């Protein structure tokens, strides 16, 4: 059974007090969750026309609360004891105090959580929070360029069945108060000066750099997807065969790796023009984002799985296109597989270190060319090769061997098998041609 707490509030039906509860959670250091469809005893209650109710809730939050709540809340449905209820996940806002628009920034409009109750905020606390309000958000920083285009952004929205109308720059908050493109717009534009680096080293330190690639100078959405694809290639599957079964395991757990990668990009402090960096060593992966804990955020807050987005406008766009699933869910997915000690938090940086999974001794490793075994994990090897060919259709066999770690003999065999299976086709000559992917 659920119980109300500092971060949890129940309402059996949607009523006029909803904005008051949302404001209190926005002003709360850890955000919170408001359930519509649960009574004071924690029991679910049937509500009709859930879809219509969700639309009303979203409109009320966006139109009745200031400052802007864009990217700070998420509305989902959840089944409790077989009954569908509405769950409103609210992040802690960076521009406190939040207030009900019609009541103004006063004790009548500003609220806070005290235990399990919502109370008016004192005038003194309102003044104190307003004095500390962060005004230097990316939304208020002008883009270095104003000749921006957004074809890539439109494509990502269209792929999700969404259309950007003529007012999209305003609705996505891509404009400064003066009406110019802001830094969020710059990051999402087709062309910019931001590049995300992915470095690969031969050993456990930074002495022997074997690969240094940059993904960027384009929409941050496109760059993020390219980095994700690259890390999927690097996160190879290893297998061990015992007397009874074959067990396969990635170097790093796939879902936590993806969540940490997206977090490093979305929560990076781009105001200092320092992009996140992704590094691959022989025994681990390291993701480093600039900007330590957000002002007012403690280590406990950071790990509490409550969302406090540094760049809420970016968070909203990444959520729209499916790169972020639900507010506050990323950290819980990481901590479900790894301990908190994989995080290194300093004043200016947050680093996530994923150690590679270890194949136990006295088992057979079927990945790669160990002891001359050229068979390996064929499906995983083919997928790895296809991902590279998709991204670099003109790549040479020698370069493929360097990127995969396979021998040139194995590359030739895999290419032959992929051609025979009609998964790839060579267009043009061996020297100047390229590979076309037919099946994936």
What does the pLDDT look like over 64-92, one tens digit per residue? 999 888 778 999 999 999 999 999 999 99
Four-point Cα dihedral 333, 347, 267, 285, nearest 10? -50
Q: 116 with 141: CB under 8 angstroms?
A: no
- What's the mean pLDDT in 334-344? 92
Q: What is the pLDDT of residue 288?
A: 97
Residue 366 has pLDDT above 50, yes or no: no
**Least confident window among 64-73, 146-155, 255-264, 327-336:** 327-336
Residue 50 has pLDDT above 50, yes or no: yes
Phi and psi angles of residue 48, each rounded to the nearest 5 degrees, phi first:
-90, 160
Which runs of consecutive H residues, i.e. helices, occur in 29-182? 50-64, 123-132, 151-159, 168-171
Residue bearing the bigger pLDDT, 261 or 404: 261
Q: What is the pLDDT of residue 23?
A: 97
Q: What is the pLDDT of residue 184?
A: 96
What does the pLDDT look like over 231-282, one tens digit per residue? 999 998 877 666 566 677 889 999 999 999 999 999 998 887 889 999 999 9
Residue 1 tokens read as: 């059974």
Residue 295 has pLDDT above 90, yes or no: no
Residue closest to 153 by CA, chosen among 213, 225, 59, 215: 225
- What's the mean pLDDT in 191-208? 94
Q: Going by C-beta distance under 8 Å and a sequence separation of 6 or more, which residues neighbour residue 431?
A: none
Q: What is the pLDDT of residue 219?
A: 96
Residue 118 has pLDDT above 90, yes or no: yes
Domains of the chain by start residue, with CATH: 8-132 (3.30.950.30), 138-188 (no CATH), 195-355 (3.30.565.60), 369-437 (1.10.10.10)
Residue 115 tokens read as: 């235990």
Residue bearing the bigger pLDDT, 2 or 224: 224
- What's the mean pLDDT in 96-123? 94
Residue bearing the bigger pLDDT, 219 or 402: 219
Residue 156 has pLDDT above 60, yes or no: yes
Residue 157 has pLDDT above 60, yes or no: yes
Please return the burial class of 317, using the count of CB atoms within 10 Å of its CB with bins 0-12, 13-18 and 19+: buried
Four-point Cα dihedral 250, 254, 260, 264, nearest 10? 90
What does the pLDDT look like over 170-182, one tens digit per residue? 999 999 888 999 9
Share of the chain above pLDDT 70, in %: 90
Q: pLDDT band at residue 369, thresholds of 50, 70 and 90?
A: very low
The pLDDT mean for the chain works out to 87
Number of other CB atoms surrounding residue 237 within 10 Å: 18
- What's the mean pLDDT in 397-402? 81
Residue 212 has pLDDT above 90, yes or no: yes
CA atoms within 13 A on the CB side of 359: 19
How far is residue 181's CA from residue 177's CA, in Å, rounded to a whole number?
Answer: 10
Residue bearing the bigger pLDDT, 431 or 293: 293
Q: Strand pairing of 434-437 and 424-427?
A: antiparallel
Q: pLDDT band at residue 375, thresholds of 50, 70 and 90?
A: very low
**Cis, peptide link before residue 67, omega less than 30° from 0:** yes
């Amino acid at each position: 059974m659920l119980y109300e707490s500092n971060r949890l509030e129940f309402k059996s039906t949607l009523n006029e007090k909803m904005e008051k509860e949302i404001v209190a959670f926005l002003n709360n250091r850890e955000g919170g969750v408001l359930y519509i469809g649960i009574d004071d005893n924690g029991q679910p209650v049937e509500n009709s026309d859930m879809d219509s109710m969700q639309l009303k809730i979203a409109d009320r939050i966006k139109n009745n609360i200031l400052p802007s709540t864009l990217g700070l809340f998420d509305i989902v449905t959840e089944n409790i004891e077989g009954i569908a209820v509405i769950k409103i996940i609210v992040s802690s806002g960076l521009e406190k105090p939040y207030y009900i628009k019609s009541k103004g920034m006063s004790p009548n409009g500003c609220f806070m959580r005290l235990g399990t109750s919502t109370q008016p905020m004192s005038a003194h606390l309102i003044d104190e929070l307003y004095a500390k309000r962060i005004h230097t958000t990316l939304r208020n920083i002008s883009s270095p360029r104003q000749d921006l285009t957004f074809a890539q952004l439109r494509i990502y929205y269209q792929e999700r069945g969404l259309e950007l109308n003529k007012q999209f720059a305003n609705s996505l908050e891509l404009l400064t108060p003066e009406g110019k493109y802001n830094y969020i717009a710059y990051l999402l534009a087709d062309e910019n000066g931001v590049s995300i680096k992915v470095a690969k080293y031969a050993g456990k330190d930074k002495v022997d750099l074997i690969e240094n690639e940059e993904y960027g100078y384009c929409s941050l959405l496109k760059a993020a997807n390219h980095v994700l694809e690259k890390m999927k290639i690097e996160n190879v599957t290893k297998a061990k065969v015992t007397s009874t079964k074959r067990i396969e395991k990635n170097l790093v757990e796939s879902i936590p790796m993806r969540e940490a990668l997206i977090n490093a990009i979305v929560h990076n402090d781009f105001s200092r023009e320092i992009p996140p960096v992704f590094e691959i060593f022989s025994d681990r992966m390291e993701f480093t984002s600039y900007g330590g804990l957000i002002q007012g955020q403690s280590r406990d807050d950071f790990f509490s799985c409550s969302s406090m987005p540094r760049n809420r406008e970016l968070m909203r766009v990444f959520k729209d296109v499916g790169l972020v699933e639900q507010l506050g869910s990323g950290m819980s997915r990481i901590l479900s597989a790894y301990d908190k000690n994989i995080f290194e938090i300093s004043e200016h940086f947050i680093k996530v270190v994923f150690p590679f999974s270890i194949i136990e001794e006295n088992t057979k490793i079927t990945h790669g060319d160990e002891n001359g075994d050229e068979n390996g994990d064929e499906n995983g090897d083919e997928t790895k090769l296809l991902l590279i060919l998709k991204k670099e259709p003109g790549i040479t066999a020698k370069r493929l061997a360097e990127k995969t770690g396979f021998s040139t003999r194995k590359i030739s065999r895999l290419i032959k098998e992929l051609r025979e299976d009609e998964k790839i086709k060579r267009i043009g000559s061996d020297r100047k041609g390229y590979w076309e992917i037919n099946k994936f």
